[in-house]
Amino acid sequence: MKRIALVVSLSALISADGEAQQQQYKMTTPIPESITTPPNVETRIGTLEFLDGVPTPETTQKAYDQLDHSTFGPPSRIGVR
């Protein structure tokens, strides 16, 4: 009997938590689509993925790899001559 009460209590807490996350607050300011970061961006170095505007570790690595390969390109080689 105690197990049933515990299961019912836990399921009530879980469902109440899910409802709280979906609640719309009275003073919420809408965010314009023009300033949000899309979840995926197609670029010449591949697809960059973002989660709530934060790049994934793979996206961060792609960006650093691009910087490593493009920073010391042909202009630097010409300057060495």
pLDDT digits (tens, 9 = 90+) for 10-59: 566 555 545 556 677 788 888 888 888 889 999 999 999 999 889 999 99
Q: Which residue has the tokens 């314009």?
A: 32
- The residue-averaged pLDDT of 50-73 equals 86
Exposed e or buried b per residue across 44-69, where buried means at least 16 C-beta atoms within 10 angstroms of its C-beta: eeeebbeeeeebeeebeebeeeeeee
Q: What is the pLDDT of residue 46?
A: 92
Distance CA 47, CA 50 (A): 10
pTM exceeding 0.85: no
Q: Which residue has the higher pLDDT, 78 or 37?
A: 37
The confidence score (pLDDT) of residue 28 equals 82
